[in-house]
A and B are shown apart, each in its own frame.
Chain A
Amino acid sequence: EPEVTQTPSHQVTQMGQEVILRCVPISNHLYFYWYRQILGQKVEFLVSFYNNEISEKSEIFDDQFSVERPDGSNFTLKIRSTKLEDSAMYFCASSGRSDQPQHFGDGTRLSIL
């Protein structure tokens, strides 16, 4: 069964450094998403992406965040200058249509020191 893949599985970074989290969505999916989950808390929406542009973003997704689809397969989330509170599990998801189930990758655990 096709799946969403994310790399790396764990990223440790010093505060203030830039990080790029990578995702390969399911190949025939058109809608892409990033969510995050701080330890012990609920899953929170960050951003949705369709047709090479952002469809919606949450309040969390401030100027320090950006997304890109650099080629036909990858979808990346960049955090420009990381803060301690960015420590969380970051999940990439994709769906074939806007109203279809979103399928999640295994996540990247981001630890900011």
Chain B
Amino acid sequence: GQNIDQPTEMTATEGAIVQINCTYQTSGFNGLFWYQQHAGEAPTFLSYNVLDGLEEKGRFSSFLSRSKGYSYLLLKELQMKDSASYLCAVLGNAGNMLTFGGGTRLMVKP
């Protein structure tokens, strides 16, 4: 079975750093992907990890520990426009399907 957990909501202050955690239990694993989704819009790719460790991409970084079934997305220097849902998704073995978590709704306050 597939189980992906992430917090439902988080609040942070403009200019701060926020870490969004994701834990997963899946039958196959070929990578973990993070997407941003503004309300009513499409998921937009942010970052991904195939191997353990930290991937840095500008203000966004993502970390993976495969042995712990754990990932996090780190957002630095938060801006108001970062208010959105952040989706954790695991790429399985079968047919390249992405299994998504329920998303973490981040609210950035002034």
Contacts and interface: CB of A to CB of B under 8 A. Distances in A.
B96 A98 contact: yes
Given A91-B43, A105-B42, A106-B42, A99 B98 contact: no
Q: Contact residue range for chain B? A: 20 to 34
Interface residues of A, number: 25
A42 B30 contact: no
Given A99-B31, A101-B33, A45 B99 contact: yes
B96 A104 contact: no
Interface stretch (B10-18, B19-27, B70-78, B87-95): B87-95
A43 B100 contact: yes
Interface of A: 31, 33, 35, 41-45, 48, 50, 55-58, 91, 95, 98-99, 101-107
Interface of B: 30-31, 33, 35, 41-45, 48, 50, 87, 89, 91, 94-103
The 4 closest A-B CB pairs, nearest first, are: A56-B95, A55-B95, A43-B100, A48-B95
